[in-house]
Amino acid sequence: MLKAYSYAAAAADKPLGPLEIQRRDVGPNDVRIDILFCGVCHSDLHMARNEWGGSNYPVVPGHEIVGRVAEVGADVSKFKVGDLAGVGCMVDSCRVCASCQEGLEQFCESPESFTQTYNSPDKKSGGFTAGGYSTSIVVDEAFTLSIPGNLELAAVAPLLCAGITTYSPLRHWNVQKGQKVGIVGLGGLGHMGVKIAAAMDAHVVLFTTSPGKIEDAKRLGAHEVVISKDAAQMATHANSFDFILNTVAASHDLDQFMALLKRDGTMTLVGAPEHPHPSPSVMNMIFKRRSLAGSLIGGIAETQEMLDFCGKHGITSDIEMIRMDEINNAHERMLKSDVKYRFVIDMATMEK
């Protein structure tokens, strides 16, 4: 076993603090990565505080991981020591079900589903997986990603969750040049949705409740900004959208956005609210054959495709760098949406 240093939550009501952990020895198909940067996702906070239930303590969060390869197993072919590498939201799956065989490991149909990067039963080491709030990680090369060398490494980290969470539905629903695409919410997910949809040459409209975000949305690539609390502004866009990506993770009225879709348009949800959304009107859907859908991260192949797309278009996340010992304050600020738009931990600040 290999020693690593981490920050972990010991209980739901405890702040994160230092914890020495063990990583498995590098097996034939494994890659050991010295973690340089780790993005901070709202899921980290939910899991650390057991807000979704099922947290297994201690919890070492972090699934937006970038670093440098320090060791490879004898059978590894995609990586060599010194390469840049990334790890996203999962580190294994059953690999044999229909979804896994089709490269959709995020929808793994085994009873355990896919193995999350943290807080999942660890089939290889026992116990539970530990994430990227740590100095190193050992991952099967099949779940390790290549990082484009032309991008700022720290700002790449959030692409491993926020980037693929927004890229996957835009790609799946075939967003194309000239289509009118709405992005609801300008947070960690929404700002990536704006950037990626704009790079796909769509006409991008950002929906926000905050007039103060208009200038920033346009800087990120939005062609128009609509204040969703303004009924008159919303009405001017009725029946006009090919696709809407809704990134908001709070319960809200979906009907106001469904009414903006064209016939056969789709709104896809990627935010996971603590309380359910009010049920949308069926009539609002059936008279225009509109669809309401959901999407979950992306498979490994699609995540690599997203990273390559971002490398080609020079896309990274807008970040605020923090020290490891600032993580508890960062979690509190994240609750207040006090970040533009993603915290990233500089792992060089981890005390050993």
pLDDT at 25: 96
Task: Give pLDDT tens digits along the chain (352 positions).
Answer: 899 999 999 999 999 999 999 999 999 999 999 999 999 999 999 999 998 889 999 999 999 999 999 999 999 999 999 999 999 999 999 999 999 999 999 999 999 899 999 999 998 889 999 999 999 999 999 999 999 999 999 999 999 999 999 999 999 999 999 999 999 999 999 999 999 999 999 999 999 999 999 999 999 999 999 999 999 999 999 999 999 999 998 899 999 999 999 999 999 999 988 788 999 999 999 999 999 999 999 999 999 999 999 999 999 999 999 999 999 999 999 999 899 999 999 999 998 7
Return d(Cα 106, Cα 233) in angstroms, integer: 37
The fold for domain 162-294 equals Rossmann fold (3.40.50)
pLDDT at 351: 81
CA distances, 284 to each of 228, 278, 280, 289 (Å): 18, 14, 8, 9
pLDDT at 52: 86
Taking the domains of the chain in order of start, what are their residue ranges? 2-160+317-349, 162-294
pLDDT at 35: 98
Q: Which CATH class is domain 2-160+317-349?
A: alpha beta
pLDDT digits (tens, 9 = 90+) for 255-295: 999 999 999 999 999 998 878 899 999 999 999 999 999 99
Amino acid at residue number 241: F
pLDDT at 22: 96
pLDDT at 275: 85
